[in-house]
Amino acid sequence: MTAAATVAGPATRAALDAHKLDCLRTLLREILPANAFYAAKLARVDVVGLRSLTDLAEWPFTFKEELVEAAGHEGLPGNLTWSSDRYVRFHQTSGTHGRPLPVFDTASDWEWWLQCWRVILGRAGVGPGDRVLVASSFGPYAGFWSGFDAVVDRGGLAIPSGGMSSLGRLQVARRLAATVLIATPSYALHLAEVAEANKIDLAATPVRLVIVAGEPGGSIPATRARIAERWGAAVLDHAGATEVGPWGVGDVGGSGLDVIEPFFHAEFLALDSGRPAAAGELAELVLTTLGRAGAPVIRYRTGDVVRPTWSAVGPEGPPWVQLEGGILGRVDDMLVVRGVNIFPGAIDDIVRSFPEVGEHRLTVSTRGSLDALSLEIEDRLATPGRVAAELELRLGLKVDVRAVEIGSLPRFEGKGRRLVDRRSGRESRSAGDTA
């Protein structure tokens, strides 16, 4: 049995775990010893004796830095199972958190991607009759390519928009009567700004659904609500990574994500201790692909911070393991400001609750021995004090908030980077970096 053998998955937790274990054993038999990266990494592991998914706790983690190092300067991924002439697709990560990582897929691997996407599109009933605008430059990042191919696979009309301006994309969406938009949350909001400036009423268009990914925004209540209001459409959150695959999906109009467990095994490491996290505890997400034999990842430290909850799998379908609030942030983006742990997403949620505020940029710096936050906002009311008061009320922190000229902050087609870290000893991350 392979992960592609089912979409809904088994009906009980015990059956689902047995299915995942079977998939993992099948994967290991296929990739070892041909995959030199994992043959070396798992050399001291009793792979044949794998009895339970809990046995994985004794296996080594895989880190992105390892994969980048293994790729070297030749640009060939280090975790390939077969010779490069067997692979048909090249993609790479954005490089937002370090050097871009090259990733190859075989034809079978790409079919596995589409199997995962069938779950995502199936959540919203996307299929024949839908016209889906994929708002992307179509660079080497896998997410939008896989989404485009998945729409075709489901029988919908896939509309590419690489090389177009934002206004051009909106005009194509109107001309072709698009019913679905796939974009990052930041870009969905930017398109809404462009539509407003050009007197285009998005709520009057046929767009019924906005599928977002690439940022936490789809599960941030205020951001999701703003996208829904501007587009007059439902919002579906989705999560994935080029080196992992499309691993998570939310509910239409809802907050949070489900791990697509028939295709992925998830583990959760408590942020404060590194031990297995309890339900509701802040944790780093660790993923193992249960397919994609050409370039697998096993116990991959994603760097994503989540809050897992477990519930019974039942005959009515998922839930699989659920992530309350979706992706809450990145491990390396967590801020400890005067003893308070916060993620940029918490700032986003508060700022987006003010409809008069457009883009924003957060800077963290060191003042004396303490960390301090400052926030720039594009505020049509030019009264930043009300935003500062809400931040202090909800976060318990004083934040220096100032209004800047409308349109002066960066806009994003790919992943928005609204955090600039200027603390001593930290590498500054520009809010202008995009995927």
Give residue 80's region: left, alpha or beta (phi > 0; psi -120 to 50). Answer: beta
Q: Does residue 430 surpass a pLDDT of 80?
A: no
Q: Does residue 254 surpass a pLDDT of 90?
A: no
**pLDDT value for 3:** 40
CATH architecture of 334-421: 2-Layer Sandwich (3.30)
Nearest-CA neighbor of 397 among 421, 377, 374? 374
**pLDDT value for 2:** 39
The answer to whether 194 and 169 are in contact (CB under 8 A) is no
CA gap 400, 249 in Å, rounded: 36
Helix, strand or coil, per DSSP, at residue 174: helix
Q: Does residue 325 surpass a pLDDT of 60?
A: yes
More confident residue, 344 or 223: 223
More confident residue, 419 or 83: 83
CA gap 388, 360 in Å, rounded: 13
Mean pLDDT of 183-199: 93
The answer to whether 146 and 117 are in contact (CB under 8 A) is yes
Beta pairing, strands 357-367 & 370-379 = antiparallel
**pLDDT value for 12:** 85
Domain ranges for the chain: 1-330, 334-421
Tens-place pLDDT, residues 345-389: 788 888 888 989 988 898 888 776 666 788 999 999 999 999 999
Surface-to-core class of residue 391, CB atoms within 10 Å of its CB (0-12 exposed, 13-18 middle, 19+ buried): buried
Q: pLDDT averaged over the chain?
A: 87
| Sole residue written with tokens 């997400």 | 285
Q: What is the pTM of this model?
A: 0.83
What counts of helices (H) and strands (E) characterise the chain? 10, 21
| φ and ψ at residue 267, rounded to 5 degrees | -125, 160
> Which CATH superfamily groups domain 1-330?
ANL, N-terminal domain (3.40.50.12780)
